[in-house]
A and B are shown apart, each in its own frame.
Chain A
Amino acid sequence: MELMLEVKSLSFSYGNGKVLENVSFSLKKGEIICILGPNGSGKSTLIKCIAGILKPDSGSIHILGKDTASLGAGDIARHIGYVPQQNEVVFPFSVLDFVVMGRAPHLSMFASPGADDIKLAKESLAMVGISDLAERPVANLSGGQNQMVLIARALVQKPALLLLDEPTSHLDFGNQILVLETVQRLASLGMSIVMNTHMPDHAFLVGDRAAALAGGRLVAVGKVETVVTSKMMSSVYGVNVAVREIEDMKRKVCLPLRR
């Protein structure tokens, strides 16, 4: 099957500090990869490099076989949707107005969105199940609603690849699961997804593949079962972790051990 995303020996540094070193992995159509790793391991930087927000020092990123270095910002945004961790909206746009902004890469410079774009925005609100919020100001939303709005905005870009930077980090338990279910549904529709997460368990819940970052290096990448092991997770996070199979649920969980 055709590779959706191919990251080859990517390196990035802020000034003198190396943030990413020689990171390589690839992703197929409809696959979800969960990027794990402690704070400061370079997860967000990796996502921002793929999104074209940061320019890597060396290495390459191919999307559908095309090198993103040779694509313009608009071309990248037509292929890749980026869902930031949180957003600070200074002006309280309505949810619909905000989501329509995802059409920007598809419109010419002087154009404003038309009826078709508004229809697409409404469809993507319906897809993530928040049609009733359309007229609400984005500033007054709960964390879970806000995350759904950000996902909806990325969806109207009609991307083949969706990047999510810790989409569950500020959410309560129920909303975390809702976001994960949405991510899974999008993958089943054929979208490829790169998701940063703090919870190794999330990889078992939605991931096809997982990758572990530590100190800017990719220490493991592959099937979730091979990456999220008690040994690997204990070494990456520096705490004792156990991975157990829950038999009646037919899936594994990753749990911290009591000292």
Chain B
Amino acid sequence: MRDYRYNCTTLVYLLPIALLIISLFVGRYQTPMSAVVDESINIFSSLFFGTSASVSTQHTVLFNVRLPRILAALLVGASLSTAGVSFQGIFRNPLVSPYILGVGTGAGFGACLAILLWNSYLLIQCMAFAFGLLAMFIAISMSKASKGTGTLVLVLSGMIVGSIFTALTSLVKYLADPYDELPAIVFWLMGSLATVRFVDLLYILFPMFIGTLVLFLLRWRINILSLGDEEAKALGMNVEKMRLIIIVCATLITSAAVSISGVIGWVGLVVPHISRMIVGPNYSRLLPMSIVIGASFMLIVDDLSRTIAATEIPLGILTSLIGAPLFAYLLKRGRLGWN
């Protein structure tokens, strides 16, 4: 029984790679298997032997349109899930999402402001990233300034920050030009990976890598933080410092994800639960599993978003339509791996 489960768990780790390959073929533009192989050989030969790769439509679709988008989906899904599972651990609450400290609404406001003022793709990304981090810093400083301690004040501070940025976002929408800017804002807020290019991936890769690496290395310590402050202290942990490191890293990767994809809900909430059902609550196994399941889940949803209708369906809509019923089903099964 144990061996069987162990093997299945190992197989799950290969899922993102399998999905990556499958996703290259999925889409409105039909590409036969042989074309992908041809193009791959083409690219490798141009890389290693210096022969010039012919730029066909197929090549453009596969490697300039689909591949960056697939990679972005994998990265965004992995990041949101890692942040979600980490926040759930340190807030000792399995219903916490990566946006708990107002990161989502902060980033949303930053992006909307950039659309209103400059409408440059790069600046939208930068502003979303910066305001996501800003929201977290305001929430943390607010909780530090208050007399109360612990996670409850932090969550309340996050709510305050979130609602201020929601109001500001509404203000920006109200001021925006209804024919040009407003649709761009609304579209961005619903989340999409349709316009991702390779160069966009470069900007997010570094913060995502650093944040995820630190969380991965600290994953066993999240178990101890989830026991509560007093017990963690009695086990020799510097609770405030450890919690701050984890919050900063989780916010870093959430902001990076939001900056290229917009605000995508439910992934960071549902994926940790699916992962808990597979490997149990121990973060040593849970965090890596969340990375893998998160990447796979996001890629599947993005494949759906570009194939089920003639026009793109925004990702945020699909993740909610898929995530919410899935969560309800998990609740009904009552095997969520928490009390």
User: Do chains A and B interact in one complex?
Assistant: yes
A positions within 8 Å CB-CB of B: 48, 51-53, 72-78, 80, 82, 84, 87-94, 97, 101-102, 104-105, 109-113, 139, 157
Residues from chain B with a CB closer than 8 A to the CB of A102 are 235
CA distance A104 to B220 in the complex (A): 9
* CB proximity of B113 to chain A, nearest CB, Å: 37
Residues from chain B with a CB closer than 8 A to the CB of A110 are 217-218
Contact A112:B284 (CB < 8 A) given known A90-B339, A92-B337: yes
Do A101 and B230 have beta carbons less than 8 Å apart? no
A-B contact pairs, 18 of them (CB 8 A): A52-B234, A53-B230, A73-B237, A73-B238, A80-B234, A82-B231, A87-B228, A89-B227, A89-B339, A90-B226, A91-B276, A97-B223, A101-B223, A104-B221, A104-B224, A104-B235, A104-B237, A110-B217
Does B338 interact with chain A (Cβ within 8 Å)? yes
Does B233 interact with chain A (Cβ within 8 Å)? yes
CA distance A174 to B224 in the complex (A): 31
Residues from chain A with a CB closer than 8 A to the CB of B223 are 91, 93, 97, 101
* CB proximity of B92 to chain A, nearest CB, Å: 5
Do A84 and B231 have beta carbons less than 8 Å apart? yes
Contact with A along B205-247 (1 / 0, CB 8 A): 0000000000001111101101110110111111000000000
Contact A87:B236 (CB < 8 A) given known A109-B218, A109-B221: no
Residues from chain B with a CB closer than 8 A to the CB of A97 are 223, 282
CA distance A88 to B223 in the complex (A): 13
CA distance A111 to B219 in the complex (A): 9
Does B280 interact with chain A (Cβ within 8 Å)? yes
CA distance A201 to B89 in the complex (A): 41
Contact A78:B236 (CB < 8 A) given known A90-B92, A91-B281, A112-B284: yes
* CB proximity of B151 to chain A, nearest CB, Å: 11
Which of B93, B237, B238, B280 lies in contact with A90, CB distance below 8 A?
Answer: B93
Contact with A along B66-97 (1 / 0, CB 8 A): 00000000000000000000000100111000
Q: Which partner residue on chain B sits nearest A111 by CB separation?
A: B220
CA distance A175 to B280 in the complex (A): 30
Residues from chain B with a CB closer than 8 A to the CB of A90 are 92-94, 226, 338-339
CA distance A53 to B218 in the complex (A): 22
Which of A72, A87, A112 lies in contact with B227, CB distance below 8 A?
Answer: A87
Contact A84:B338 (CB < 8 A) given known A90-B94, A91-B226, A110-B217: no
Q: Which partner residue on chain B sits nearest A97 by CB separation?
A: B282
* CB proximity of B50 to chain A, nearest CB, Å: 42
> Interface residues of B, CB < 8 Å — how many?
30
CA distance A139 to B167 in the complex (A): 42
Do B280 and A94 have beta carbons less than 8 Å apart? yes
* CB proximity of B198 to chain A, nearest CB, Å: 32
* CB proximity of A85 to chain B, nearest CB, Å: 10
* CB proximity of B233 to chain A, nearest CB, Å: 5
Do A139 and B339 have beta carbons less than 8 Å apart? yes
* CB proximity of B74 to chain A, nearest CB, Å: 25
Closest 4 pairs (CB-CB, A-B): A77-B236, A105-B236, A91-B281, A82-B234
Contact A92:B281 (CB < 8 A) given known A48-B230, A84-B230: yes
CA distance A193 to B282 in the complex (A): 31
Which of B92, B235, B280, B339 lies in contact with A77, CB distance below 8 A?
Answer: B235
Residues from chain A with a CB closer than 8 A to the CB of B224 are 101, 104
Q: Which partner residue on chain B sits nearest A140 by CB separation?
A: B339
Do A157 and B235 have beta carbons less than 8 Å apart? yes
Q: Which partner residue on chain A sits nearest B92 by CB separation?
A: A90
Residue in A48, A75, A78, A109 whose Cβ sees the most chain B Cβ within 10 Å: A109
Q: Which partner residue on chain A sits nearest B276 by CB separation?
A: A91
Q: Which partner residue on chain A sits nearest B230 by CB separation?
A: A53
Which of B94, B218, B221 lies in contact with A91, CB distance below 8 A?
Answer: B94
Do B281 and A88 have beta carbons less than 8 Å apart? no
CA distance A97 to B226 in the complex (A): 13
Q: Which partner residue on chain B sits nearest A104 by CB separation?
A: B235
* CB proximity of A34 to chain B, nearest CB, Å: 20
Residues from chain A with a CB closer than 8 A to the CB of B235 are 77, 101-102, 104-105, 157
Do B218 and A77 have beta carbons less than 8 Å apart? no
Contact with A along B264-275 (1 / 0, CB 8 A): 000000000000
- B177-218 residues with Cβ-Cβ distance < 8 A to A are 217-218
Do B236 and A91 have beta carbons less than 8 Å apart? no
CA distance A93 to B218 in the complex (A): 17
Q: Which partner residue on chain A sits nearest B233 by CB separation?
A: A53
Residues from chain B with a CB closer than 8 A to the CB of A113 are 220
User: Given contacts A90-B338, A109-B221, could you give 16 more A-B pairs where the C-beta distance is less than 8 Å?
Assistant: A51-B233, A52-B233, A53-B230, A73-B238, A77-B235, A82-B234, A84-B234, A87-B227, A87-B231, A90-B94, A90-B226, A91-B223, A91-B276, A101-B223, A112-B219, A157-B236
